[in-house]
Amino acid sequence: MYGLFLRHFYLITRSFPRILDLVYWPTIQITLWGFISNFFATHTTYYNNAVGVILTCAILYDFLFRTSIGFNMLFLEEIWSRNFTNLFIAPMKIGEILTSLVATALIRALIGLIPAVLLTSPLFGISILDLGIFLFFLFLSLYLFGITLGILVSAGLLRYGPSFENIAWSTMFLLAPFGCIYYPIEILPEMFQKIAYLLPLVYIFEEARNILINQTVDIQNIYNAFMWNGVYFVLSIALFYYSFHVAKKKGTLINMGE
Amino acid sequence: MKNLVEVKNIKKNYGKNEAVKGISFNIEEDEILGLLGPNGSGKTTTIGMLLGLLKPTSGEILINGQKLEGNRIEILEQINFISPYIELPKKLTVKQNLTVYGKLYKINNINERIEFLSEKLRLGGLLNSITGELSSGQKNRVSLAKALINEPKVLLLDEPTASLDPEVGDFVRSFLEDYKKEKKISILLASHNMNEVTRLCKSILMMKDGIIIDKGNPEELISKHGRKNLEEVFLKLSRSKNELN
């Protein structure tokens, strides 16, 4: 019994991502649901005239989640199937690997999204298409951020190996409180608001609510979302290349164990 | 004979740990070079550097006259690798796996190539089987087919017959001998099977603690060390101090 305990204890203490994983899950859950509860307790009439805003935001968030997790899954599949080395000794440029993963992640996300969109109308009498042409820009922006997160996590997997896997599953939850998915940014403490404004998510979800509730469009929100997406996308690509360089120095590419 | 692989004084450090301490060797066209050494001697690190998965701390590797550094993609098109420690995706059929790798290696006539390899490696009846459901021997032959999909000029083999029964092991060894002779390729064979190394290799490098402690053809080494076979030479060198360099 003690031996089995030690087996897992040693594993946890030898891996920073695993320790981090233990700490931040409860913290994130408490923070996210704390803000949601706080908002509904103080703004009970906010959503009165806009049935489906929460559902629309849930679908948008799910698209982001599927895109990001989908990208990570593609990368993790290669590690789990012990095919990772085969892939990295094939004559493919890093850019080619990333491009193929990005395209495949999009197809995976769309496969999950289309039934969800189609189901909301007959089941709840709500259509996400009410967002109009701007829905395309919101989805595009979410897709960009989703694959950006996917690339960042994959860079972590390259650099730290499979122990980074837990981070892969939880990046979206880590960002969710700052994304202001179900509540406006004003509900966050001032310091958190400053962080939230550095993410594209807050502009995307603020704009979705703005279109549905106020029936107006604030182009500035869409522009800000794309601007921050551009910044993070470039950073993620740079980090992936750097991680590949470090992995070649440290030997992670030939040593993808636990 | 032309050298297809030239390794010039490569070193690999992981922090303060020196995994490979400046080794040099060549592999000629139509040659199988054996790489022997106890666990931790630096064999896998050396193979990793030849595959471009590891960056040498210093030194230079040339494949078919091209420097690996700066020409990684062009060189990867000409080499391939097999190891029991890496596998092909288990859920795909054999044919799907070979097709995927045919595409990754930009092979034009994939179906012809798969047909040729499946005939040579006795895979005909397995092409539509799920890879994960195959026996060890069958998986090994599929991995070998993947490793030959791009008609590599240089083939790196890490324990290619580990965990195979004697019949399949013999089949794989005979196949490698014939294929090398026919295509004039260079093969680096890392193995702990001394009979296999004696049978296949024209020359051998003995590694220990990151350096080459001896080299020569199997008969020369056996006679030089006054032993009956290569296994005894291996044991002697593995247990000795690194004084033979």
Full pLDDT tens readout for chain B, 245 residues: 789 999 999 999 998 899 999 999 999 999 999 999 998 899 999 999 999 999 999 999 999 999 999 999 999 999 999 998 888 988 899 999 999 999 999 999 999 999 999 999 999 899 999 999 999 889 999 999 999 999 999 999 998 888 788 888 999 999 999 999 999 999 999 999 999 999 999 899 999 999 999 999 999 999 998 999 998 998 988 887 654 44
Give the amino acid at A113. Answer: L
| Angle (deg, nearest 10), helices A165-179 and A200-209 | 50
Higher pLDDT, A20 or A153: A153
Provide the 10 A C-beta neighbour count for residue A151.
Answer: 27
Q: Would you say residue A230 has pLDDT above 60?
A: yes
What residues in chain B have their Cβ under 8 A from chain A's Cβ atoms?
Answer: 14, 44-45, 48, 51-55, 73-74, 76-77, 79-81, 83, 85-91, 101, 104-106, 146
**In Å, how far is A132's CA from the nearest CA of chain B?**
40
Q: Would you say residue A25 has pLDDT above 90?
A: no
Identify the burial level of A192 via C-beta atoms within 10 angstroms of its C-beta, where 0-12 means exposed, 13-18 middle and 19 or more buried. Answer: middle
How distant, in Å, are the alpha carbons of A120, B117, B225 from that of B81?
50, 16, 32
Class of domain B3-78+153-239: alpha beta
pLDDT, residue B244, reads 47
Q: For an interface test with B, which of A86, A96, A245 has the most B Cβ atoms less than 10 Å from its Cβ?
A: A86
* Dist. CA B19–CA B41, nearest whole Å: 8
Q: Would you say residue A27 has pLDDT above 80?
A: no
Higher pLDDT, B60 or A127: B60
Instruction: Please name the residue of chain B whose CA is at the shortest distance from the CA of residue A93.
Output: B73
Residue B188 sits at the vertex; the CA angle it makes with B144 and B29, to the nearest 5 degrees, is 100
Instruction: Please name the residue of chain A whose CA is at the shortest distance from the CA of residue B51.
Output: A89
Instruction: Please name the residue of chain B whose CA is at the shortest distance from the CA of residue A96.
Output: B104
Whether the CB of A7 is below 8 Å from some CB of chain B: the reply is: no
Provide the 10 A C-beta neighbour count for residue A123.
Answer: 9
Q: Which of B55, B88, B146 sits opposite A248 (nearest CB)?
A: B55
- DSSP single-letter state for residue A140: H
pLDDT, residue B245, reads 44
In DSSP terms, B188 is beta-bridged to B33, B156
CATH 3.40.50.300 residue spans of chain B: 3-78+153-239
Residue numbers in A near B85 (CB within 8 A): 82
Give the amino acid at A142. Answer: L
Higher pLDDT, A131 or B146: B146
- Kindly state whether residue A6 falls inside one of the protein's structural domains: no
The model's pTM is 0.83
Q: For an interface test with B, which of A75, A81, A243, A256 has the most B Cβ atoms less than 10 Å from its Cβ?
A: A81
Q: What is the tens place of the pLDDT at every residue in A156-207? A: 999 888 878 777 777 777 788 888 888 889 889 999 999 999 999 999 999 9
pLDDT, residue B110, reads 93
Q: Give all strands (DSSP E) within chain A, no chain letters.
A: none
Q: Would you say residue A30 has pLDDT above 50?
A: yes
- Kindly state whether residue A249 falls inside one of the protein's structural domains: yes
**Number of structural domains, chain A?**
1
Contact B206, B237 (CB under 8 A): yes
The residue among B157, B140, B139, B125 whose CA lies nearest residue B46 is: B157
Q: Which of A82, A90, A249 sits opposite B76 (nearest CB)?
A: A90
- Kindly state whether residue A10 falls inside one of the protein's structural domains: no
pLDDT, residue A28, reads 61
Helix (H, G, I), strand (E, B) or coil at B216: strand
Contact B232, B194 (CB under 8 A): no
**Domain enclosing residue A242, as ranges:** 15-39+52-254
Consecutive H or E run containing B238: helix B230-239
**In Å, how far is B147's CA from the nearest CA of chain A?**
9
pLDDT, residue A238, reads 97
Whether the CB of A88 is below 8 Å from some CB of chain B: the reply is: yes
pLDDT, residue A170, reads 76
Number of alpha carbons in the 13 Å side-chain half-sphere of residue A184: 9
ipTM over 0.95: no
* Dist. CA A164–CA A92, nearest whole Å: 24
Q: Note whether B89 contacts A83, CB cutoff 8 Å.
A: yes
Q: What is the tens place of the pLDDT at every residue in A102-117? A: 888 888 888 877 777 7
pLDDT, residue A1, reads 64
pLDDT, residue A78, reads 85
Q: Note whether B88 contacts A83, CB cutoff 8 Å.
A: yes
